[in-house]
A and B are shown apart, each in its own frame.
Chain A
Amino acid sequence: MRIVHYINQFFGGIGGEDKADYRPEARPGVVGPGMALSQALKGTAEIVGTVICGDSWFNENLEEAKETVLDLIKQYNPDLVVAGPAFNAGRYGMACGAVAEVVTKSLNIPVVSGMYKENPGVEVYRKHAWIVEVGDSAAAMRTAIPAMVEMVKVFAAGKTPEPGTYIARGIRQNYFHAERGSKRAVDMLVKKLTDQPFTTEFPMPEFDRVAPNQPVQDMSKAKIALVTSGGIVPKGNPDRIESSSASKYGKYFMGDLSDLTVEGHETAHGGYDPTYANADADRVLPVDVLRDMEKEGVIGKLHDYWYSTVGNGTAVASAKAYAAAIAQDLLNAQVQAVILTST
C-alpha cells in the first residue's frame, strides 16, 4: 500500500509560527512523524511521499492550497493519505480536514487523521476523514501514532474501520433490520419506562446551550464590563498569559483610560496575526467606543476593570472555569452586562 503523509511546517521541521506562511512542498519518503508511522507500518505500507504546508498559508489561501496540495499528493499515486496528527492545533486540524475533503472527493481514497476531540477540524471535516481521537498536544504522539497505524492496517487489509474506533462521521448507512422501526422504538420506550438499560439508535448531539439572560432594561444606567478571549493585556503581558492553551486569565485596571495605545497595550494571543491588535488594541477590546458611549449617555458606566485571556487552543473546561470566576467577580462589582469580544 502506498501512502502520502500530509504535515504542517512545524512537524516538517521548517519552523514554528514564524514559518506558518510556508507554501506547499512535496518531499519523497518520510519527514518528522512519518518516521514513526513508517517504522510501525513496515511490511504493511510504505510512505512514498510527504507534503508539507504552513498552517497560515493553507487557511489563508484555502482554494489554492487545496488544489496545490492535491496535485502534490496525486503525483505519488497513493492508495491512502495520512494527515497529521493535528492534536488540538486548530489551523492544522482545519488543513488536515480540507486535505481529507479534497482527496476523498478527487481521488476516492481514504484519509486517516488524528485530532483532539475539540479541534475545529473534527466538527467541520469529520465526514471526509477517518479521524482517530488523540490527546491535545504533541506529547500524545506516542499514543497517537499506534492508534493511527491500527486504522491504516484496517484499510490495508481491505476492511473498513469498526464504528467506535474513529470519531463518528455523521454518515447514515441503510440496512435491513428484522424488526420495524416503530416496534424497536416502542421496545426502547418500554425499557426506559421500566428503568432497564437500552441502546439508542440515534445518539442526540450534545449542544452546550446557554439560556440567555433577561435583557438590560435601561442601558443608560447600566454598568458594562469588557471581557475578551483575544488576549489584550497591558504592554509586557505582566501575568505571562500563554499565547495558546492559556492556563489563566488576567484582571486589569482600566481607570480613566479612554483609548488603548501601542505604548501601553498589546495582545498575548498566538493564534492570529497580532499586527493590527498591537497597533491599536481597541480593535479587539473597544475601550475607545465604550468611552464615547459613556459620554453620550448610551451606557451608564464602563466597569473599572477588564478581563482577558487567550482563547487559542484553550480547553473548554478551562474557559468555563475562568468564566465562572470572572462572572462572580463582575456580580460582586454590580456589573449588569458584559461585552465579550473574541478575535
Chain B
Amino acid sequence: MENQRRVKEYAEKFGKEEIVVVLGGAEAEASGLAAETVSNGDPAWAGPLAGVQLALKAFHILEPEIKDQVDPTVYEAQVSLMEMVLDVDAIVNEVGTIRNQYANW
C-alpha cells in the first residue's frame, strides 16, 4: 500500500513519460500483478491505485531493456545468480504482455 502511494505521488509529480517502474518479482504472476498495478490500477482494488490507471511502463530487471543499461559487473554481482534459477522467459513474457496492454503509448 505504501509502495502504491509512492508510485502515485511520483507519477503525479513527474508525469508518466518521466517514470519507468523496475520490478524484481521472483515469478511471473507476481511480476505481472505489479506491472498491472502501476498501469491499469490495483487488480485487488485495495490500495491507493485501485481504479487509478497511471499507464506507467514497468520493466522487470531481467528484461534486456533494463539489463543492458546496468554495469555488467554490478549485474553479475547482484542479479545473475537469481537469473539462473528463475523462469526468465515466463517473467519477461508476462510483464511485456501487461505493458503492451495497459501502457502502450
Contact = CB atoms under 8 A, between A and B. Distances in A.
Interface in A9-42: 10-11, 13, 15-16, 32-36
Interface of A: 10-11, 13, 15-16, 32-36, 138-139, 141-142, 145
Given A139-B43, A141-B45, A33 B1 contact: no
Contact of B44 (A15, A16, A34, A141): A141
Interface SS, B side: loop
Contacts of A36: 45, 51
A13 B50 contact: yes
Nearest to B44: A138
B48 interface: yes
A101 B42 CA distance: 30
A1 B50 CA distance: 24
Contacts of A10: 46
A217 B48 CA distance: 60
A15 B46 CA distance: 9
Given A13-B1, A16-B1, A139-B33, A35 B51 contact: yes
Interface residues of B, number: 11
Contacts of B51: 35-36
Contacts of A139: 29, 33, 43-44
Interface string B4-34: 0000000000000000000000000100010
Interface string B44-56: 1111101100000
A36 B46 CA distance: 11
B43 A142 contact: yes
Residue from B33, B43, B44, B48 having most chain A Cβ neighbours under 10 A: B44
B46 A32 contact: yes
A32 B1 contact: no
Nearest to A8: B46
Contacts of A142: 43
B7 to A, nearest CB: 15
A275 B66 CA distance: 44
Interface of B: 1, 29, 33, 43-48, 50-51
Contacts of B45: 11, 32-36, 141, 145
A139 B42 CA distance: 10
A141 B46 CA distance: 10
A126 to B, nearest CB: 24
Contacts, number: 36
Contacts of A35: 45, 50-51
Contact of A33 (B29, B33, B48, B50): B50
A11 B33 contact: no
Contact of B43 (A15, A16, A141): A141
A38 to B, nearest CB: 9
Those 4 A-B pairs whose CB atoms lie nearest each other, nearest first: A138-B44, A33-B45, A35-B51, A11-B46
A142 B44 CA distance: 8
Nearest to A33: B45
A19 to B, nearest CB: 10
Given A33-B46, A35-B50, 10 more contacts: A10-B46, A13-B1, A13-B48, A15-B1, A16-B1, A32-B50, A35-B45, A36-B51, A139-B43, A139-B44
Residue from B29, B43, B45 having most chain A Cβ neighbours under 10 A: B45
Contacts of A11: 44-46
Contacts of A145: 45
Contacts of B44: 11, 33, 138-139, 141
A312 B85 CA distance: 29
A260 B47 CA distance: 39
Contacts of B29: 139
14 contacts: A13-B1, A13-B48, A15-B1, A32-B50, A33-B44, A33-B46, A35-B50, A36-B45, A138-B43, A139-B33, A139-B43, A139-B44, A141-B45, A142-B43
A331 to B, nearest CB: 32
